Structure 1
């Protein structure tokens, strides 16, 4: 591990001054940009990783890779690649994005050698990490279901409608009664006229 740590230290040491100069030059202008927090974490982690490698060089018994190197390789580099690629696609600040991508690619190569991983291009490694982190869900088998049978039910006529009809019939006067009343009055009137005439002729006789 000491030889690999020495090789990684030799490769990463020139990167840190470039990141420090980048921070000094562009901090005021880009500190509020969406990619700047990613750059800040990247710079701070490279500095801490160099400290870890220096301590492991002094400790010859340490054979496991630094946890910081594992975190950089598996989790942070794919995230930083996306952020720096978006910056490189910006016409105004494309040179900044290209510079950060070049430094990130160099760091990825050093970490691959340090962790004894197969050499994979940065873009391919980032794509695999994104696919592994995506939640594809759980497949659920469809169950064949028969459509529900429609049942036709006949409802009895409403009692409310019948009661309303009976009420209307009770309020409405009967035609037979309305016809009977005038005929009785006519008969009474005719009978009255006949009595007056009979009494008049009776007085003349």
Structure 2
């Protein structure tokens, strides 16, 4: 394998992490998981720098003290990163458990899986015997936060108790019911009487009072008025 291939993959991965940091730092920089993301991004950058130094020193001389020092630093960085993968995975799984940012959490876990693959390739390329966290172990670590979040959500949502129809019928008390045994004919007759009484009241209120006509008083006139008035 070409020694530059894992390093190129790691450089591409770090560019993706940098873009994620630039996009989400203002919104999520105060959350707990973002501290682990910053740590993951920072150590991936240091791993790139130390891998480049080791490759440059080894190309000059494989037995020099500079090559040995660069190898020790690179190996120590790889050991530290491999020991932190489980911790980072646990933090990113909590983001997946949050439905609001599940897509971001899946992106972080994908970057972490890519990082794990690159570290394994680096160890194989340089002959380092470092225990890399396997996929089965990562799955076991990742199940913890997701299951806890689901169980906590189930406790909060009280869906009640299922009651069958038979239980309702058996526990029903017949004495509570008050049946109206009045026959329908009596009800209709009472209703008619009530309606008739209301109509009579309305008629009495609407009928106008008789007005008394006032008689006009004739004015007293003279003899001519009496003469012509008799003719009329």
Distance 1:127 1:97, change over 3 A: same
Are 1:70 and 2:79 counterparts? yes
Contact 1:49 1:69 in 2 (8 A): yes
CA separation of 1:9 and 1:36: change in aligned 2, threshold 3 A: same
- Partner of 1:13: helix, strand, or coil? helix
- Within the candidate set 104, 108, 112, 2:112 is matched to 104
2:36 is matched with 38
Structure 2 segments unaligned to the other structure (5+ residues): 125-129, 142-232
Q: How does 1:127-146 map to 2 (within 5 A)?
A: 127=140
Deviation per CA, 1:67-123: give whole Å up to 9, x if none. 1111101x2101000000111111000011100100000111111122236886434
Mapped to 1, the partners of 2:89 and 2:9 lie a distance apart of 20
Query: What's 2:95 paired with?
Result: 87
Give CA-to-partner distance per residue, 1:41-63, whole Å, 9 cap, x none: 00010111000011011011237
In the comparison of the two structures, how many residue pairs are matched? Answer: 125
In structure 1, C-alpha distance between the alignment counterparts of 2:78 and 2:131, rounded to whole Å = 15
CA distance in 1, matches of 2:140, 2:118: 19
Aligned equivalents of 1:38 and 1:118: distance in 2? 21
Contact 2:13 2:111 (C-alpha < 8 Å) held by counterparts: yes
C-alpha change, 1:120 and 1:29, in structure 2 (3 Å) is: closer
Where does residue 157 of structure 1 map in the other structure?
none
- Aligned to 1:93, the other structure's residue is in SS state helix
Name whichever structure is richer in helix by fraction. Answer: 2
The structure that has the greater radius of gyration is: 1
Match of residue 25 from structure 1 = 23
| TM-score in terms of structure 2 length | 0.49
Provide the aligned C-alpha RMSD in A: 2.4
Distance in 2 between the 1:14 and 1:88 partners?
23
Can you list the C-alpha shifts for 1:140-172, whole angstroms capped at 9, x where unaligned? Answer: xxxxxxxxxxxxxxxxxxxxxxxxxxxxxxxxx
Structure 1, unpaired ranges of 5+: 129-205
TM-score, normalised by the number of residues in structure 1: 0.55
